[in-house]
Structure 1
């Protein structure tokens, strides 16, 4: 069982302290919901966990399976098993959904154990069927021209394909 442990976390953005001593422990398989009005720090917490450079951790720790992730870059945190679904996903022209997801899956695998094209296609077809997504979604550019619902469904597809240890959905 993996553990994400946040202790006495203080986070500032533009010199304004937003989080003031957050503590929580999350084990794999658990679901935690953080609720509150706008401006209370929900998105700040998500951004700080993933290492967004605009958010400065001024105090506290974040450990993933006993390893301090505060010194890790965003991509290292993702490879370690963290996933962040954001409120407004960026559109990226020129990169298809399939290309993006295969690269994300392979980034978490050893160089000598990349997912084969056939296994990737099989897995993607299976997950898209579960989500009742049309096949052409795989070849569309990442979030480009997607409706709000398509973006959310695409994020769930990413979760199902990448299989992170912890998913943070900032909705």
Structure 2
């Protein structure tokens, strides 16, 4: 049965020369304490025919909560963003009416998170991947392999425990007792 989705996928495969390809892409790492704001950035060293991007970002919702989406240096001037946040996932679509970018590098998007106060200590991946039409059908418009960065939740420093007063009194009186004992004085 021929469906609209299959027709669209077939037409898209025929027009694959118009798709932007990305290699190498990279994602930055960050770290912070529970409650801190952290971010990760998707970058591309040299885009080819880049005028649209549809991708998703996935993370552990028990550690991070989505706070903000920011356009990158490649997309800030002419791209219109559309994104849909949900728990542990952000679906992003960027499009431009300007001429496609070719052979330039820079950041595409920055995703800002807040580390939850209950987040366990340790690293957690944030994975960017292109949105595809379905198994084996390729990416919608901007092809890149799944690429991960790491947000590391740091251990908050524990409270400073003051030394109790009797320890200070004992430490200050000890030299006096030792001094009297050496001189042969009777402490009675």
* Range of TM-score over shorter length: under 0.3
Q: More helix by proportion, 1 or 2?
A: 1
Mark the structure with the bigger radius of gyration. Answer: 2
Q: More strand by proportion, 1 or 2?
A: 2
Higher RCO (C-alpha 8 Å, min separation 6): 2
TM-score, normalized by length of structure 1?
Answer: 0.23
TM-score, normalized by length of structure 2?
Answer: 0.22
